[in-house]
Amino acid sequence: MPISERTKQVLREVGLNTYEIDVYAALLDGGQLTAMEISEKTKVPYSKIYEVLKMLKEKGWVKTVESRPAKYYPAPPNEALATTEAKLQDKITDWKQTITSELQPLFEKREIIEHPDILILHGIQSVTSKLVETLKKATKEIMIAAPEFAKKMLSSAPLLFDVLKKTNAEVKLMVTGNAEQWSNLEKLTGPVKLRVRNNMFGGGVIVDGKEAMLFLGEEKPSLVIWSNHAGLVRFAKEYFQFLWESSKKVG
């Protein structure tokens, strides 16, 4: 059975070149094969076959049987992918250490000013419009911290609940008071996790850890901010998680 173009693209993203993909596919189809047999089953010239097999072994996608001549067989795909993931994680750790230790001090020394997008929103229509736009982008996770003063704003935004009903992202919804007081909650379906707490200074929405809308105030939202600033969004997410852990589960 031939490998689909989608899978070939994934293998290229994982780090395999065209020859390596062809060889791995041949081994999946033929089982244990010699280098000569692999070359004959693929378009890989015999002069390059050992180099290709060597790289596949180093990447964890091919194993060998000690025989004369040597035979090669495919590593289980999940095992090979796990090996690739571990190596990539090691690389990311090294990249992070290098950039943090060398480039970040240069950035801070020169006092370079960042220019992320930060918007201050005015008016209920502007706020709800931006809120719906932000939520529609969610693919993985939506975090919503809804204080008492946000009830009227959320209740007046039916499009908001349409988005939440259709999203495939996991929704964490944290409200103040009793969950029953939030009349629109029963409209939500899908993977929604609900928690309540006694009070909340301000609230907000965080989407995929990339964008945040913050509602600041006590009795009403005196300031509404949208931002994709990485540091601000990360702080908001960590603070939400802190409040989430100390909130009461519902259901």
Residue 43 lies in a domain: yes
Residue 81 lies in a domain: no
Could you tell me if 129 and 240 lie in one domain?
Answer: yes
Residue 112 lies in a domain: no
Residue 135 lies in a domain: yes
Could you tell me if 137 and 44 lie in one domain?
Answer: no
User: Tens digit of pLDDT for each residue in 140-193?
Assistant: 888 888 887 776 666 656 666 677 777 778 888 888 876 666 545 545 545 678
Residue 107 lies in a domain: no
Beta bridge partners of 163: none
Straight-line distance from the first to the last Cα atom of the chain, in angstroms, rounded to the nearest whole number: 47
Backbone angles phi, psi at 234, to 5 degrees: -65, -45
Could you tell me if 125 and 205 lie in one domain?
Answer: yes
Nearest CA-CA partner of 227 in 111, 126, 134, 107: 134
Beta-strand runs (E) in the chain: 33-34, 62-65, 71-74, 118-121, 141-146, 170-176, 192-197, 203-207, 211-216, 223-227, 248-249
Mean pLDDT of 205-211: 90
Could you tell me if 63 and 131 lie in one domain?
Answer: no
Could you tell me if 47 and 144 lie in one domain?
Answer: no
Give the separation between CA 38 and CA 26, rounded to whole angstroms: 7
pLDDT, position 213: 87
Domain span at 192: 118-249
235 Cβ partners below 8 Å, 6+ apart? Answer: none
Backbone angles phi, psi at 228, to 5 degrees: -115, 20
- 161, 184 in Cβ contact below 8 A? yes
Could you tell me if 158 and 222 lie in one domain?
Answer: yes
Could you tell me if 147 and 27 lie in one domain?
Answer: no
User: Which CATH number characterizes residue 175's domain?
Assistant: 3.30.870.10
- 14, 84 in Cβ contact below 8 A? yes
Q: Report which of residues 247 and 110 the model is more confident about.
A: 247
| Pair type for strands 203-207 and 192-197 | unpaired
Amino acid identity for residue 184 in this structure: N
pLDDT, position 181: 64
Residue 206 lies in a domain: yes
Q: Which of 18, 47, 76 delimits the end of a domain?
A: 76
Could you tell me if 166 and 51 lie in one domain?
Answer: no
Residue 69 lies in a domain: yes
Could you tell me if 142 and 38 lie in one domain?
Answer: no
pLDDT at 54 over 90: yes
pLDDT, position 185: 53
158-166 and 124-136 are packed helices; what angle lies between their axes, rounded to 10 degrees?
A: 10
pLDDT, position 191: 61
User: Which CATH number characterizes residue 11's domain?
Assistant: 1.10.10.10
Residue 95 lies in a domain: no
Residue 201, helix vs strand vs coil? coil
- 60, 80 in Cβ contact below 8 A? yes
pTM: 0.52
Q: How confident is the model at residue 77 (pLDDT cuts 50, 70, 90)?
A: very high
Number of structural domains found in the chain: 2
